[in-house]
Amino acid sequence: MKVEQNRVVSLSYRLETDGDVIEVVTKEKPAQFIYGVGYLLPKFEEQIENMNTGDKFDFVLQAIEAYGEIDEQAIFDLPKNAFEIDGEFDDQYIEVGKSIPMQDQEGNRLYGTVVEIGDTTVTMNFNHPLAGNVLHFEGEVVDVREVTPEDLSESCSCGCGCHDNDCSGCEEEGCDCEGNCEDIN
């Protein structure tokens, strides 16, 4: 069976950037998703389209094809008092390198990484953690099968892994569904 729209695909892979291994997904615990509903990067999906179970892949996605180049306008200072709890700066939770869930002025959830903590400001980077990186994927299509009604009821189109298309309270890093997953039925 071929990898195509609305099929359940299981993959094992190794992701590297600049020679560093970022992620390893094994055949024993493969990544599983419904193809074509926005779970993966579009260029990644293009690379595995029409592959069959057992097919191997080895490809590179340039930064622009993956998470984009680093946007300097997505790095800025926020007032340090925005990170206070009961009038005290939360130095146990806010530390350099940590990804922090936040909201923009419209109430959209987003994640920012703490870059620097100053006397009066905290510098945050709201780029994706892999922005600016060339991604090298090497792996195998472990399985391809037809989608079932159970798959549809346990999936949401944002790919965050929430169930029954209810992402209220979703804690998945990078999920931008805002609790409003689209029904892919």
Q: List, by residue range, all CATH 2.40.10.330 domains of the chain.
A: 72-125
Q: List, by residue range, all CATH 3.10.50.40 domains of the chain.
A: 7-67+131-147
- Measured CA to CA, the distance from residue 15 to residue 75 in angstroms comes to 26
Selected from 3.90.220.20, 3.30.70.580, 3.10.50.40, 3.30.565.10, the CATH number assigned to the domain covering 7-67+131-147 reads 3.10.50.40
Mean pLDDT by groups of 10 residues along the chain of 185 residues: 94 96 96 91 96 98 97 95 91 92 88 95 95 98 92 60 48 48 39
CATH topology of domain 72-125: Thrombin, subunit H (2.40.10)
Distances in whole angstroms, Cα of residue 138 to Cα of each of 36, 57, 73, 128, 162: 20, 6, 32, 21, 27
Q: What predicted TM-score, i.e. pTM, was given to this entire model? A: 0.74
